């Protein structure tokens, strides 16, 4: 390594072959079990499974999208601290091509999920007739194809270019990714917004919120940073990364996670305040549904679990530097991201109160298992940090005084 000498000799370049094999085989078992459980649930209760699966699928896809956003933004800002973190986020964004396959059940069951506007009763609904040029099945499938293809292409391109640098010790891939990141971020912003409108907001086609795409994005950024924190902590604990990723980098990830926790609350509250203040029936009904019966408990759990508790916990510098505290906050935020999506999707099935079912778990485990499998495949075959990143030495040196 000409560029950084022996400064990073303490860092392991690739996962040990036996460890990688164990990781892949275990996650493959999880994937097979999850998919089998999903298939069983689909047979038992197709309608509920459609919604449960949509929740699980969007959980995985938003984590992948948050990771893709992180990769893009690091190149866009020419960040130097995040060399190792960027590689871990590249792994995570690797689930996006798999999401094109994971979307198939949603595509098949779309008429169950979006029955309000895909079903025959839409013909008698004046409002839906007005929205029909956008909300019609053909255009829906075309858009979904475009979103999934764009995400798969972006994530594969960034992974491929970054991996090319591992072999060539060349600056050109970095320059290429920086140039590509500007158009990529525009594509990303548009696709994630419209995908949220299509897949989550249109379940209740009379309701609308213009900030909805940003809300989903805030959850995506928070959950992917939580997953990154867990990967970073795991690699530190295993003693694989010591220099290029250390407690200072963990602290930086904690700071970003803290910031996006506040961002999520800010966006969630912005959406709530406008709807609450205006008090227009067709808008307020969204919160009305989510304040009925046990949904009220879920709403409050979201307020405290997704904002108040992580905010107070991550406020302290010592918490962000402690693997235990940051890890616990990350697990909480990942769970809360699922609760958030559950809170968006499931009130359309369970009116007047939440009813947990094993089918919900099946709908989560299928996409989760496949996502974990793809992630461990990425981790197994790719170096643990970008071996020839031009800023490795700085990433190892910068600290938080």
Residue 138 burial (C-beta neighbours within 10 Å; 0-12, 13-18, 19+): exposed
Cβ at position 332, least distance to other proteins in Å:
21
By the rule CB under 8 A, 399 interacts with other proteins: yes
Hey, is 210 helix, strand or coil?
coil
Q: 13 vs 1, 84, 379, CA distance in Å? A: 12, 11, 11
Cβ at position 220, least distance to other proteins in Å:
24
The DSSP element (H or E) to which 138 belongs, if any, is helix 137-168
By the rule CB under 8 A, 317 interacts with other proteins: yes
By the rule CB under 8 A, 179 interacts with other proteins: no
Cβ at position 266, least distance to other proteins in Å:
9
Nearest CB to other proteins, comparing residues 171 and 269: 269
Q: How many CA atoms lie within 13 Å of 70's alpha carbon, on the beta-carbon side?
A: 36
With beta carbons less than 8 A apart as the criterion, state whether 221 and 69 touch: yes
Nearest CB to other proteins, comparing residues 127 and 312: 312
Cβ at position 276, least distance to other proteins in Å:
5
Single out the residue of 130, 301, 123, 148 nearest to residue 208, CA to CA: 130
Cβ at position 269, least distance to other proteins in Å:
6
Nearest CB to other proteins, comparing residues 157 and 287: 287
Nearest CB to other proteins, comparing residues 186 and 273: 273
Size of the site for other proteins (CB under 8 A): 10
Rg (CA), the chain: 21
By the rule CB under 8 A, 138 interacts with other proteins: no
With beta carbons less than 8 A apart as the criterion, state whether 136 and 84 touch: no
By the rule CB under 8 A, 315 interacts with other proteins: yes
Gap between the Cα atoms of 220 and 60, Å rounded? 9
Nearest CB to other proteins, comparing residues 239 and 401: 401
Cβ at position 241, least distance to other proteins in Å:
22
Gap between the Cα atoms of 49 and 361, Å rounded? 10
Cβ at position 387, least distance to other proteins in Å:
27
By the rule CB under 8 A, 394 interacts with other proteins: no
DSSP per position, 18-48: HHHHHHHHHHHHHHHHHHHHHHHHHHH-HHH
Residue 124 burial (C-beta neighbours within 10 Å; 0-12, 13-18, 19+): exposed
Nearest CB to other proteins, comparing residues 45 and 248: 248
Q: Considering only residues 244-283, where is the footprint of other proteins by CB under 8 A?
A: 269, 272-273, 276-277, 279
Handedness of CA 23, 29, 32, 35 (dihedral sign): negative
Nearest CB to other proteins, comparing residues 199 and 215: 215
Q: Considering only residues 188-217, where is the footprint of other proteins by CB under 8 A?
A: none
The residues that touch other proteins, with contacts defined as CB under 8 A, are 269, 272-273, 276-277, 279, 315, 317, 399, 401
């Amino acid at each position: 390594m000409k560029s950084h000498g022996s400064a990073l000799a303490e860092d392991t370049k690739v996962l040990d072959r036996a460890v990688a094999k164990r990781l892949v085989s275990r996650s493959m078992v999880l994937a097979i079990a999850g998919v089998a459980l999903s298939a069983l649930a689909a047979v038992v209760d197709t309608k509920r499974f459609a919604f449960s699966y949509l929740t699980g699928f969007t959980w995985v896809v938003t984590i992948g999208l948050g990771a893709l956003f992180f990769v893009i933004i690091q190149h866009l800002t020419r960040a130097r601290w995040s060399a190792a973190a960027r590689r871990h986020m590249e792994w995570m964004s690797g689930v996006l091509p798999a999401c094109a396959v994971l979307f198939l059940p949603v595509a098949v069951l779309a008429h169950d999920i979006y029955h309000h506007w895909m079903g025959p009763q839409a013909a008698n609904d004046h409002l839906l007739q007005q929205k029909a040029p956008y909300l019609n099945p053909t255009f829906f499938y075309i858009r979904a194809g475009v979103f999934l293809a764009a995400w798969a292409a972006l994530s594969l391109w960034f992974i491929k270019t970054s991996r090319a640098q591992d072999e060539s010790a060349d600056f050109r891939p970095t320059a290429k990714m920086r140039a590509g990141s500007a158009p990529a971020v525009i594509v990303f912003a548009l696709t994630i917004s419209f995908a949220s409108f299509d897949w989550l907001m249109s379940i209740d086609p009379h309701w609308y919120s213009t900030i909805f795409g940003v809300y989903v994005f805030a959850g995506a950024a928070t959950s992917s940073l939580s997953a990154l924190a867990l990967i970073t902590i795991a690699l530190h604990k295993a003693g694989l990364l010591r220099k290029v990723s250390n407690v200072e980098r963990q602290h930086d990830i904690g700071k970003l996670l803290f910031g996006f926790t506040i961002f999520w609350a800010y966006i969630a509250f912005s959406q709530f305040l406008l709807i609450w203040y205006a008090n227009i029936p067709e808008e307020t009904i969204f919160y009305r549904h989510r304040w009925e019966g046990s949904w009220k408990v879920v709403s409050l759990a979201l307020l405290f679990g997704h904002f108040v508790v992580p905010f107070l916990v991550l406020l302290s510098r010592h918490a962000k530097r402690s693997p235990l505290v940051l890890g616990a906050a990350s697990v909480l935020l990942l769970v809360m991201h699922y609760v958030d999506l559950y809170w968006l999707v499931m009130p359309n099935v369970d009116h007047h109160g939440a009813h947990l079912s094993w089918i919900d778990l099946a709908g989560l485990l299928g996409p989760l298992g496949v996502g974990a499998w793809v992630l461990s495949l990425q981790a197994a075959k790719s170096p643990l940090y970008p071996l020839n990143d031009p800023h490795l030495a700085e990433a190892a040196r910068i600290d938080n005084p």
